[in-house]
Structure 1
């Protein structure tokens, strides 16, 4: 065969091989490529939430954002400057210390790869994501309604000079004091400023560097499974087990799902809500965050959620407002103490003083680790405290 004939034969063979390759695997035993950690977030399947998040956070929109025209208004420019200042203050006063704590204390087993659960969270995605970056499943639960994802068309009809400062105010306590003030949430997140936790959470996600690839309004069915739901445009989705699911991603991390569910966690409501218990158990053994809970689980009216936390957690990180110290029995839990504890801050919670927790801090003084940041009630006024309990 001459040279031209050989060339034609080779080309035909390559074309035939390409044709077979395009048909897919020949048998079911063909192995798929291993999952890779994302370097840069993928293009959002639905960009509405991401565009809204950046606009509300005072961050320039990505190319093609529906909010681009609004960014030229003086009100948004002022808002962006104020948000920059508020975030810079948080990063300087608290975030650096929280990140160092996470890197030193919240790594290895059982943290790596675990689902993250945050009951009594309000809209505080901030603490959860700083303490537990890089996970793929985040679940939050609190009384406040989930709210709705806003649109650029809605803001075009509003006075941004009045609207944006009010939205920014929903985060002032969290960024400054480390927690949402209950009476402020009652006033701000139930229709007076926003219709739920969605808008504050969007701001926090954008400022933390997350891209929001999509969202869905969800609820739990009777079997504890998340299913899609419609949006009640009149009442902003008040009701048990209604929620919001966000697909989030940050450079260098795998895509994750963050779910917020609205419900009352007291015993009177929990005893008739087996779907939520099934949902939490279905997460698997979680790392659970408890902070500034108004000492709910110290009350006999919250025994069921307290037991769920103890049953379904591989690790619990909390301040003294979480699970009372007496429930961390030595045969089941190994607990590391941080900071210092004397009694709750202020007169309202003095009756929740735990003498046994104070005694533990005294007895373990040489092993108690310092905290390089303040959080919880009285942050900046009294010494903060944390306990990290690992299941044995």
Structure 2
């Protein structure tokens, strides 16, 4: 515990040193042809390499293991029990996981998870819920659908911020994954892998994608879905159904082919649909799509944005997004968010202030704006510094930490409300 505290205290300084070394090898944005080919994947790789100073409890990289075809919809009761089991919560009485949950390894894991989640509730959930209930009250009343680009499997933060919404659309680079098979849950490496994957999001509010990929693949948890299930269970939601889906070339939601011998259309986008019953008994639908949202990729595969356009007016949530929408070659997703959103809640890694049409938005600033961490230093926004120093319309307090500047005293959120009619 002492060493973790020390690591947390000196994390920003270590990031600065590591980034100073890594930045010299990154490509510049002055070359238009090379910039056009940068994708979410290349940026994610840069972030992971620069953040190697973050504590990592998993040190073994597993070799690839052939996976069974699990594209069919799983048994609902089993899926709910798996979600509970992965989160350190007791499966149902008649589950075939009860024997595994009785073993000392799971019992120790469950005790540790209860402690971690209790700390997270005290430092984040309770404060976020109270803040959102006050500051986002009007947003909640008109936000049936939440769009969360660059999310990865982070259902945790979006459902905490928007607990009353009915539909959540998440998109990220991580593969979709499947409901873990019993053999994966029996793997003794499972508990340290899950713990390592959750550590950064529970302490810093964002995922380290590279560590997550290594940790989870080592126990055949093959994508975003297992963690989304875990978050659903830990936030009091009950899984009603899970369905593998895909977006066809036109952006229409269709079932995933179960016949893996049939060649898939290269323009389709893999995804999953998770139906939930919320703590209040109300139904929720969560979609996750594995998609690269850079212009270069969207020019060849436009289905993700075509699907989002069918959802009606949006509330968009953006956090720890690598400042991708600051860049010229993420124009398509940025333009969609600005044209189709009634509200945008983001930290400074979302859409740069220069892209908001003057007079079209009302802004509410929360927390503190400081310079981005060194990896993203070139995305510093003088406009935000000026806004946060406004003595007439002072920013409001933010009682929890979020984003790359994860300490409460350093974090910021910006709520933008549209003042003009939505674009067609």
TM surpasses 0.5: yes
Query: Is residue 277 from structure 1 mapped to residue 305 from structure 2 by the alignment?
Result: yes
Match of 1:229 in 2: 256
Number of aligned positions between the proteins: 342
Q: Which runs of 5+ in 2 are unaligned?
A: 1-73, 420-424
Larger CA deviation: 224-233 vs 329-338: 224-233
**Does the 8 Å contact 2:170/2:288 carry over to 1?**
yes
Query: Is residue 75 from structure 1 mapped to residue 96 from structure 2 by the alignment?
Result: no
SS in 2 for 1:202: helix
**Does the 8 Å contact 1:111/1:315 carry over to 2?**
no
Q: What is the 5 A alignment of 1:38-49?
A: 46-49=76-79
Match of 1:31 in 2: none
Larger Rg: 1
**Does the 8 Å contact 1:146/1:196 carry over to 2?**
yes
**Does the 8 Å contact 1:288/1:315 carry over to 2?**
yes
2:163 to 133, 145, 159: 133
Match of 1:108 in 2: 138
**Does the 8 Å contact 2:402/2:408 carry over to 1?**
no
Match of 1:12 in 2: none
Q: Distance in 2 between matches of 1:385 and 1:364?
A: 17
Query: Is residue 200 from structure 1 mapped to residue 227 from structure 2 by the alignment?
Result: yes
Query: Is residue 184 from structure 1 mapped to residue 214 from structure 2 by the alignment?
Result: no
**Does the 8 Å contact 1:280/1:312 carry over to 2?**
no
Q: Distance in 2 between matches of 1:46 and 1:194?
A: 18
Q: Distance in 2 between matches of 1:85 and 1:64?
A: 26
Q: Distance in 2 between matches of 1:104 and 1:129?
A: 16
1:171 to 164, 179, 198: 198
Larger CA deviation: 111-120 vs 262-271: 111-120
**Does the 8 Å contact 2:367/2:409 carry over to 1?**
no
Query: Is residue 252 from structure 1 mapped to residue 280 from structure 2 by the alignment?
Result: yes
Q: Distance in 1 between matches of 2:393 and 2:361?
A: 19
Query: Is residue 318 from structure 1 mapped to residue 346 from structure 2 by the alignment?
Result: yes
SS in 1 for 2:137: coil
Flag the 1:143–1:338 CA change in 2: closer, same or farther, 3 A: same
Flag the 1:257–1:387 CA change in 2: closer, same or farther, 3 A: same
Query: Is residue 267 from structure 1 mapped to residue 295 from structure 2 by the alignment?
Result: yes
Q: Which runs of 5+ in 1 are unaligned?
A: 1-43
TM-score calculated relative to the size of structure 2: 0.76
Q: Displacement, 1:273?
A: 2.3
Q: Displacement, 1:63?
A: 2.9
SS in 2 for 1:329: coil
TM-score calculated relative to the size of structure 1: 0.82
Flag the 1:208–1:117 CA change in 2: closer, same or farther, 3 A: same
Match of 2:40 in 1: none
Q: Distance in 1 between matches of 2:95 and 2:260?
A: 24
Q: Distance in 1 between matches of 2:379 and 2:95?
A: 49
Q: Displacement, 1:186?
A: 4.4
SS in 2 for 1:308: helix
